[in-house]
Amino acid sequence: MSTPLPRISTLIAETWSAFFKNWETMLKTSVWLIPAVILIGSISIAKTIPTVYAPIFFIFYAIGVFLSLWVTIRLYRTALAIESESTLKDTMKSDITFFLPVIILSMLGGIATGVGFMAFLIPGIYIAIRLAFVELIVIDERIQAKGAVPFFVTPFAVLIVASFAYVMTPNKFIGLATIGIAIAYVIYGLYKLYTLNKEALLKSWLLTKDRFWPIFNRQVVGVIIFGLIVAIVANIALWIVEMVSGMDLSVAENEQKSLPVLFTSGAISGLIQAALVPAVYFYEVKLFKALQKTR
C-alpha cells in the first residue's frame, strides 16, 4: 500500500522555501513570459486593423505560444533539477526536443479529459487528475513521441492544405469533400498517436492510482493559493499604473485594444507572472516527486 503524501501545508512551505532560494535562477527563464504574454495578446488587434495586416499578428501570436511552451518546459526541467539537487546544463536546443512529445501527449490527455467532460463533469475532473502529470513524466523521463511526423505533423498539414483548397476552388463540394477526407486523416492520426504513445499516459494513470482525492485536494488548494496571489498582485499593479499614468487599462478587456494599452497591460501581466509563476512549477514538481517516492 502507498504511504501517505506530505501534508498540504508541508508542500506549500517547501515550495516557498525552494522558490525564494532559487528565484533568480528561475527568473532567467520566466522573464521570457513578458514578451510571450504581449505577443499572445496582440492577436486581439488583428480584428481592428486592415485584413492584409492581420497575418502579422497571427505570426506574433504563434511566436508567443512557442515562447510560453519553451518557458513551461524549461521551468519544469529547472525545478526537477533543483529538486534532485543536480545541475541543468542543457541549452534551448535540448528543450526544443521536448516540444513535440509535450504537445502530442498533452493533446492526447486533453482529448481524454474533454471526452470525460462531455460525458459528465465528474468523469472529466477524474481523468484530468489521473493524467495531470503527463507533461512532467515526459520531461523527467525524457520520453520521445512515437509517430510524431506521420501521425501528427502530416495529418494537420494535410488539413491546412485542404482548407486552402476549399477557399480557392470554385467547386465548394469538392473543397468540402477534401476537408472531410483531411479531418478523417487527422482522427486516424490521433488514434495512431494514442496506440503508439499510450505507455506515457499509463505512467501518469498508474502514478495516481488510488490517490484521486489526496491529489485533487492538493491540486485545488495549490491552484487557489498561487492563482489568487498572482491575480491579486497583478490587479494591484495594474491599479497603481492606472493611478500614476492616467491610462485606462480596463480597455484591455475590450476587443478594441490600442497598442499602448496592449503593451502596458501585457508587460505588467507578464512581469507579475515572471516573478511569481515559478512557485507553481515548484509546487507541481514537489507533488510529482512526492507521488513517486511514496508509491
Report long-range pairs for 94-100 (Cβ below 8 Å, ≥24 apart): 95/70, 96/70, 97/144, 98/73, 98/138, 98/139, 99/69, 99/70, 99/73, 100/145, 100/148, 100/152
Between the CA of residue 264 and those of 34, 41, 256, 267, what are the distances in Å? 11, 11, 15, 5
In this structure, are residues 184 and 162 in contact, taking their beta carbons and an 8 Å threshold? no
Residue 73 confidence class, pLDDT cut points 50, 70, 90:
very high
Task: Report the distance separating Cα 99 and Cα 145, nearest Å.
Answer: 10
- For the cut 80, the answer to whether the pLDDT of residue 67 exceeds it is yes
User: Could you count the other beta carbons within 10 Å of the beta carbon of residue 71?
Assistant: 22
Identify the pLDDT of residue 174: 79
Q: How do residues 191-239 score in pLDDT, each as one tens digit?
A: 999 998 888 899 999 999 999 999 999 999 998 899 899 889 988 988 8
Identify the pLDDT of residue 257: 56
Residue 284 confidence class, pLDDT cut points 50, 70, 90:
very high
Identify the pLDDT of residue 254: 47
Q: Which amino acid is at 140?
A: D
- For the cut 50, the answer to whether the pLDDT of residue 40 exceeds it is yes
Average of pLDDT values for 103-126? 87
- For the cut 80, the answer to whether the pLDDT of residue 44 exceeds it is no
R_g of the chain computed on alpha carbons? 21
Q: Which residue would you say has higher pLDDT here, 145 or 8?
A: 8
- For the cut 70, the answer to whether the pLDDT of residue 264 exceeds it is yes
Average of pLDDT values for 39-58? 76
Residue 2 confidence class, pLDDT cut points 50, 70, 90:
low
Percent of all residues in the chain with a pLDDT value above 70, rounded to a whole number: 93
Q: What are phi and psi of 28, to 5 degrees?
A: -60, -30
Average of pLDDT values for 34-46? 84
Identify the pLDDT of residue 242: 77
Q: 3-state class of 251 per DSSP? A: helix
Between the CA of residue 30 and those of 22, 24, 43, 91, 187, what are the distances in Å? 12, 10, 22, 15, 35
Identify the pLDDT of residue 94: 82
Average of pLDDT values for 248-257? 53
- For the cut 90, the answer to whether the pLDDT of residue 267 exceeds it is no
Residue 54 confidence class, pLDDT cut points 50, 70, 90:
confident
Q: All 3 cell numbers of residue 2?
A: 502507498
Identify the pLDDT of residue 1: 52
- For the cut 50, the answer to whether the pLDDT of residue 252 exceeds it is no
Q: Which residue would you say has higher pLDDT here, 248 or 255?
A: 248
- For the cut 90, the answer to whether the pLDDT of residue 255 exceeds it is no
